[in-house]
Structure 1
Amino acid sequence: MALYVHWPYCARICPYCDFNVVRDRGRTQEQAELAQAILNDLEAQAALVGPRALASIFFGGGTPSLMPPDAVAAVTARARALFPPSGDIEISLEANPTDAEAGRYAVLAHAGINRLSMGVQSFDDAALKFLGRDHSAAEARRAIALAARAFPRLSIDLIYARPGQGVADWTAELTTALDLGFEHVSPYQLTIEGTTAFGRAVARGAWSPPDEDLAAAHYEATQTTLEAAGFEAYEVSNHARDVAARSSHNLHVWRGGDYLGLGPGAHGRLTLDEGRLATVAERRIGDYVAGVAAGSPWAEREVLEPQDADEERVLLGLRTVEGVPLALLQRLGLSADEGRLADLLADGFLSQKGGRIAATATGRPLLDAVLKALLT
């Protein structure tokens, strides 16, 4: 059993973000109530699912590095007590590399965090300003140095295909991340969501994202640069220096493992006697806190049909280099000898090896289209 903990507070709302977040201002009492509600929700869901071994914990957001360290420690300690792990487990937390938050790293490590995912996004000050980030490139470098002393494992998030960014510029930023010693890199193409400030700016013609050809060139540069440095793209947007550097929490989710979703808007997946249960917590903080108190924290609770659960495992599993078992696709009526799956294998978008089906280097950049062709 894994845990995802959503802490929705941010010092600033980034213009590209469409996550469930709020400004972190004057909310001290609300935050204390939320921290307690997350613990209570953990207790209630543990009683629902019964004895399990703890696989991992991931604190996401929002900006969980703003979460009070004693609240982080309380969640990790209670999770270990409710779901005793069989060995060492990964406990990740997302962090912004500001000077203020970097000062909390040592305390967060003491609270149980052993892997920090750093939202650096860029090493260019002009780009950071455009992205609405509240740190500078110099602050990011200072924070990285502090994080390296506090945590045994570090990951970096970077955003590419920004307006005006050339391929050489992007390659230089990737090289900077590698030179700083990161063992895990998560590069994301800038995505424009209509509900965000960027979405509204693009809609009114204030600026335009790079065209598809330039974005594809950025993607290819990502693969080439990281492969040359010994990194493997073990998932579409995640590259690790070796197997040990992979995110075990994310792999647990991509492999179809169970996980509790704790906090406002958090998603969960639970295997119960009634079937595969998909949950979504109340999005508004007050509604979530009240829902936990009333014994009903979920805005959505659905027992997935077996076919829907299998399709979801395919959608997640084909994002990884491991792929999915052929038997899973066969349960969906697909055959490696004829039909849609056979066509995708023959066209080189998918490969078959050792009873598993995986996306190829040709298929991964086109994965959304490959999955649509496979499952519809």
Structure 2
Amino acid sequence: MRDRIDADAWQAALLADLAHEAEKTGRRPLRSIFFGGGTPSLMPPRIAASLIEAAERHWGFSNDIEITLEANPNSVEAARFGDLAAAGINRVSLGLQALDNDALAFLGRAHDVDEGLGALDTARRIFDRVSFDLIYARPGQSESDWEAELARALSFGTGHLSLYQLTIEPGTRFATLAAQGKLTPVDPDHGATLYELTQAMTAQAGIPSYEISNHARPGQESRHNLIYWRYGDYVGIGPGAHGRRGGMATLRHKKPENWMGAVDRNGNGLQQEVPLQAEDKAREALLMGLRLGEGVDLARIAGLSGLPIGALVDDRAIDRMNDLGLVWRTGNRLQVSPAGMLLLDAILPEVVAV
């Protein structure tokens, strides 16, 4: 935790990093801006305003640009929502994570349910579009528990929900607890039951999945997420930011001090800027795009990567999985079926040939 932040220095560095990317890309209308990572809602709203103004000056905006802010659902951050909306933010994504206080404590969240819902109410009054996330398949969570929690979440009427199953990642506190026998991960069959329940309830509520873990009313899908799931270009500025720009993979220095130092020395915070090989482009486009309900256009990926369609996927594996109802192929359109999404991690290595 840093006790003192030089907001003016941060603003200047972010603007310099932004200008570097604008020079590299040339002018093109932006469809999305996303303030994410850490706690962007705690930055002074004037910094958000200056970045939005600079982005419009460098690139121009589409008429319906989406400008999203990630925020923790607490009263401190919610108090800034009005000023952030005035700065140009028109969509907020709240990390609620659970509607149960014991679950929030288990997940290590500082807010409780009442504070989180208070932030949600504030966000819905101020912003045009609101999303929030929940984590399910938590240890000890029954089918009826999740059904009740999801029904409550759906009753709030937001246009977008991100619903993630709890995963035990190596090196995390959860992995340590599991290794010590203090946490028992959810049985995969139970997780599948909860996933199917999630799909049924959200579809019935008019907010179906468009990606394996993301649900939206028609027209309310996250444009930011769709850009990288569809393998479009995006620039990333600030500490630790990744980007894909004209066939280049960019990575900023992660440690803030190192990033600031790089901006001072070089006029940008880049740590790496490397050309992507044809196979890398194709693989990334397939792995991201097959998470979407709409699937991928193999002809488009062939055009992006320069590889022939036949080199992208394993036709025999696709035929086998098509017979099992796990994937669909119509011409050059390849999709993972709703049943296949349950097995996505196993399907991808089979069908992706690059």
* Pairing partner for 2:249 from 272, 278, 287: 278
For the residue of structure 2 that corresponds to 1:133, the secondary structure is coil
Which residue in 2 is equivalent to 1:12? none
* Pairing partner for 2:280 from 284, 308, 311: 308
2:41–2:71 Cα contact (<8 Å) kept: yes
Which residue in 2 is equivalent to 1:20? none
Distance in 2 of aligned mates of 1:212 and 1:27:
45
Cα shift readout 1:205-233 (whole Å, capped 9, x = no counterpart)? 22222121222222111111111111221
Report how far residue 350 of structure 1 moved: 1.3
Report how far residue 173 of structure 1 moved: 1.3
Distance in 2 of aligned mates of 1:202 and 1:63:
28
Distance 1:205 1:27, change over 3 A: farther
Q: Note the residue ranges of structure 1 that are not aligned, 5 or more in a row.
A: 1-22
1:72-83 → structure 2 map (5 Å cutoff): 72-83=48-59
Which residue in 2 is equivalent to 1:268? 243
Report how far residue 32 of structure 1 moved: 4.4
1:312-327 → structure 2 map (5 Å cutoff): 312-327=284-299
Which residue in 2 is equivalent to 1:342? 319
Cα shift readout 1:294-352 (whole Å, capped 9, x = no counterpart)? 22522222201112101211111111112111323682525899423333333322112
Which residue in 1 is equivalent to 2:34? 58
Which residue in 2 is equivalent to 1:26? 3
1:178-197 → structure 2 map (5 Å cutoff): 178-197=154-173
* Pairing partner for 1:369 from 343, 346, 352: 346
Distance 1:355 1:108, change over 3 A: same
Structure 1 vs Structure 2: percent identity of aligned residues?
A: 44
1:96–1:118 Cα contact (<8 Å) kept: yes
Report how far residue 35 of structure 1 moved: 3.3
Equivalent AA in structure 2 for residue 44 of structure 1: H
2:168–2:174 Cα contact (<8 Å) kept: yes
Distance 1:190 1:136, change over 3 A: same
Distance in 1 of aligned mates of 2:112 and 2:8:
30
Cα shift readout 1:140-164 (whole Å, capped 9, x = no counterpart)? 1211111111001011100011111
TM-score for the superposition, normalised by structure 2: 0.93
Q: Note the residue ranges of structure 2 that are not aligned, 5 or more in a row.
A: none
Report how far residue 178 of structure 1 moved: 1.2
Could you tell which deviates more after superposition, 96-105 or 298-307?
298-307
Distance in 2 of aligned mates of 1:122 and 1:177:
9
1:289 maps onto 2:289 in alignment: no
For the residue of structure 2 that corresponds to 1:352, the secondary structure is strand
1:291–1:297 Cα contact (<8 Å) kept: yes
Distance in 2 of aligned mates of 1:349 and 1:87:
39
1:335–1:342 Cα contact (<8 Å) kept: no
Report how far residue 245 of structure 1 moved: 0.8
2:40–2:71 Cα contact (<8 Å) kept: yes
For the residue of structure 2 that corresponds to 1:345, the secondary structure is helix
2:92–2:123 Cα contact (<8 Å) kept: yes
1:259 maps onto 2:231 in alignment: no
Aligned length: 347
Superposition CA RMSD, Å: 1.8
For the residue of structure 1 that corresponds to 2:206, the secondary structure is coil
Could you tell which deviates more after superposition, 57-66 or 327-336?
327-336
* Structure with greater contact order relative to length (CA < 8 Å, sep ≥ 6): 1
Distance 1:337 1:101, change over 3 A: closer
